[in-house]
Amino acid sequence: MSSSVSSQHDHVLVEENSFARILTLNRPKQLNALSFQMISRLLELFLAYEEDPNVKLVMLKGEGRAFCAGGDVVAVVHDIWAGGWRAGANFFMKEFSLNYLMATYSKPQVSILNGIVMGGGNGVSMHGRFRVATENSVFAMPETALGLFPDVGASYFLSRLPGFFGEYVGLTGARLDGAEMLACGLATHFVPSAKLPMVEVALCDADSSDPVIISSIIDQYCEKSSLKEQTVYNRLDVIDRCFSQRTVEEILSALEREVVDQRDGWISATIQTLKKASPTSLKISLRSIRVGRVQGVGACLTREYRMVCHVMRGEFSNDFLEGCRAILLDKDKNPKWEPSKLEHIADTTVDRYFSKVKDEDWEDLKLPTRSKFNLPPYVIAKL
């Protein structure tokens, strides 16, 4: 076995237990960040398990203190520097194909989110049928601080959160705990981490792909999760008033009016977070989530692939490479965004991120064919 194949397998551990398959993301020092090889391996395994009648459900978890902190963006940036934007495009094409497969999977996927789950980690969990949060869970989509946008199908799952909570989470990169994830619907269950081994054993013994049965098994180990007194989820009225505005500029103006009325430190912090983010990222992210409200998951991923190709090509802005430099590589946390102000970004520029890439060798995202499988109603509803 070649070293690359060996590391690919080492980074995704496989455990076969009667009717279940347990997959463990195993790059704990990198917080289980998804490499191209890991994504390829997951895609290969999920395709094989769907064809195998002996496999009734798939569990996905992470080794160490993270489920998955995202895609390996640093590796993508190095690939872009070495081989041009197409090297990055290959990564996202494979990743988004995996996201679509999980979103339309004919068997239950149970993701154990016992730790950090950010960016691409949400792409390999939020689309699955069951998402188990714990007291250790930390959710975020922090892409606007990197000059990117909430991708991996986030315009589908964020746009379906209550009110305009998805716009708030997607634009600010706000961190949510397990109780908040359950309250807003990002998690389907809340189980104390001490009980997770018992959940795994019970699910492995379940000779069923019936989501009602799977859910009832997890329910047996659930405990009531209490929202903290200062939880952002108690500010949904302010979030809805502000993040329902038509433009990013109007969202900021609404927040600034709220500060005058309430003198709330959380509102001031939210304003500062938005002002530190890439202006281009904020504008394309808001448009993406709004469009995602009326699109199926496949259309969302296809559009996001167009967007991410434009981001990597850098024909309108190089904020992605600059954000990764400032936050992940040099770590000076002082990105020089260009354009530097929201008012310098015209709607016509935002429109271009949603168009096909004008390159003779470029192709739209080709999603895996799903028609031959008997998809359950909860999957059909996403299409």
Residue 227 in 3-state DSSP?
Answer: coil
Strand arrangement of the beta sheet that strand 109-113 belongs to: 12-17, 20-25, 57-62, 109-113, 130-133, 189-190
Which residue in 72, 95, 143, 177 is the catalytic one?
143
| Cα distances (angstroms) measured from residue 247 to each of 92, 295, 311 | 28, 20, 20
Is 298 catalytic? The answer is: no
The Cα–Cα gap between 231 and 176 comes to: 9
The Cα–Cα gap between 237 and 14 comes to: 44
Helix (H), strand (E) at residue 91: helix 85-103
Helix (H), strand (E) at residue 132: strand 130-133
Which residue in 50, 62, 70, 71 is the catalytic one?
71
| Cα distances (angstroms) measured from residue 284 to each of 67, 150, 304, 353 | 28, 10, 10, 7
Is 71 catalytic? The answer is: yes
Report phi then psi at 288, rounded to 5. Answer: -60, -45
Tokens at 322, concatenated: 């600059």
Is 343 catalytic? The answer is: no
Which residue in 95, 151, 177, 304 is the catalytic one?
151
Which residue in 62, 88, 115, 120 is the catalytic one?
120
Is 143 catalytic? The answer is: yes
Query: Catalytic site residues?
Result: 71, 120, 143, 151
